[in-house]
Amino acid sequence: MALLEDLDRVRWHKVSHAYGVATDVPDLLRALVDPDHASKKVRTGAERTNREIRDHVIHTLYGSVFHQGTVWQASPHVVPFLVEILRDGPPDPALRASLLEYLHHLALGYSEDWFPAMIDPAIYFLAADAPPLDPRDRHDPSRMAGYARDCYRTVEAALPTLAPFVHDADRGVAFAAVGLLGSFRAEASITALRDAAARPGTSQAVALVALARLDPAAIPALAAPLLAAGASAGGASSDRFAAVHAAAALRLADPAHADSATIDVLVHPLGELTELKTPLAGSIGTLVARSLERVPPPHRDRAVRALGDILALAARLTNLSTTAALLTLTFGDEPAPPRADTLTPPQRRALELILAHGAFKIGNAAFGNYRELLTERGVPRDAAKLRAWLVGAPERGSD
């Protein structure tokens, strides 16, 4: 059977995406396979946006089939063809990594937003089988939940086909595959990740983190060699990368696990590793922050300093995650107190670090998600107001 032979069997004019009927999807998918013979419409779109054909197609599919994190009626129909391209299409690493990441998003949205927690499909798709309030309304929550459920199930069914990519020689492909498989509690995922975590290679260290949520009992034996290899401060960057992931996996597999060797690795300054990409968490800075956010009190002061180091180097999304971890580490699940003079020393230090390095703005504009996080935790959301509150101003006020 020729690649994408079944494309025209889907009644694309009967299903919709974010911008209407999905009749543009076949041309887009064919252009992924053979950019040199893309349709005139696809080529014109790429030229207008100054993108390569494949980059334009991926960008367009994100905008229409996974619009702002939401799947649509057409989305489940697209999944089998993406899997087919991965299995039988061009062996281009950049394309394969992009498609694996895109399938991950279609199945589960932005899973890094809730890492290290995992989605429970029984809860996530709770409304999926409820009848729509109005069948004419494509935006009805019940219908949208059904599309999300169908995307999840279709990707889940393809896991045996996608599993071998965890061993791909290309780092981007292997990492994308680990991230995808690590988000499913399926036998195909566990088997592939166990194999990757036990086999020295590109994906070994990141597979440990993914496996920690699926098979925590396997982690101590698998993590020990990588932790030891990177335990010294002067180790090679590849050893540090592996050790950080091994330490994070130990913490995720057993949150009560807080021996000195594990914590030593996690609190050592990350430096250039801070914004390095890693599956599931997004960045190594976020991975470490989430691993330190609930360490026992004996390790808290060192963890606060480590999170401060990450804040100082992090881009805004890692900074957002690290700030959340820092607040959880020092305040638990409670909000900040009404008066700054009742702060404990670790709490004051955490807020001083946030004041010094927090991502309050993006350019000249306020970073809305950051302001929302601080407000939810009872912390002044503006740097000037936080500074005034810390030195004893009577009221926090609001903008």
In the prediction, which pLDDT does 235 show?
A: 54
Q: Provide the sign of the torsion angle of the four alpha carbons 357, 246, 248, 103, taken in this order.
A: positive
**Per-residue model confidence as pLDDT tens digits over 320-363:** 999 999 999 999 999 999 999 999 999 999 999 999 999 999 98
Q: Where are the domains of the chain?
A: 1-157, 302-399
Q: What is the 3-state secondary structure (H, E, C) of the chain?
A: CCCCHHHHHCCHHHCEECCEECCCHHHHHHHHHCHHHCCHHHHHHHHHHCCCHHHHHHHHHHHHCEECCEECCCHHHHHHHHHHHHHHCCCCHHHHHHHHHHHHHHHHCCHHHCCCCCCCHHHHCCCCCCCCCCCCCCCCHHHHHHHHHHHHHHHHHCHHHHHHHHHCCCHHHHHHHHHHHCCCCCHHHHHHHHHHHHCCCCCHHHHHHHHHCCCHHHHHHHHHHHHHHCCCCCCCHHHHHHHHHHHHHHHHHCCCCCCHHHHHHHHCCCHHHCCCEECCCEEHHHHHHHHHCCCCHHHHHHHHHHHHHHHHHCCHHHHHHHHHHHHHHHHCCCCCCCCHHHCCHHHHHHHHHHHHHCCCEECCEECHHHHHHHHHCCCCCCHHHHHHHHCCCCCCCCC
In the prediction, which pLDDT does 49 show?
A: 93
In the prediction, which pLDDT does 135 show?
A: 40
In the prediction, which pLDDT does 138 show?
A: 46
In the prediction, which pLDDT does 113 show?
A: 84
Q: What is the distance between the alpha carbons of residues 305 and 222, in angstroms, rounded to a whole number?
A: 29
In the prediction, which pLDDT does 233 show?
A: 45
Judge whether 115 and 290 are in contact, CB under 8 Å.
yes
Predicted TM-score (pTM) of this structure: 0.90
In the prediction, which pLDDT does 62 show?
A: 95
Judge whether 154 and 80 are in contact, CB under 8 Å.
yes
Tell me phi and psi for residue 192, to 5 degrees. Answer: -65, -40
Residue ranges in the chain modelled with pLDDT below 50 = 130-139, 233, 394-399
**Per-residue model confidence as pLDDT tens digits over 115-170:** 998 887 777 765 555 444 344 444 455 677 888 889 999 999 999 999 999 999 99
In the prediction, which pLDDT does 131 show?
A: 45
Q: Which residue has the tokens 């070994």?
A: 204
In the prediction, which pLDDT does 106 show?
A: 95
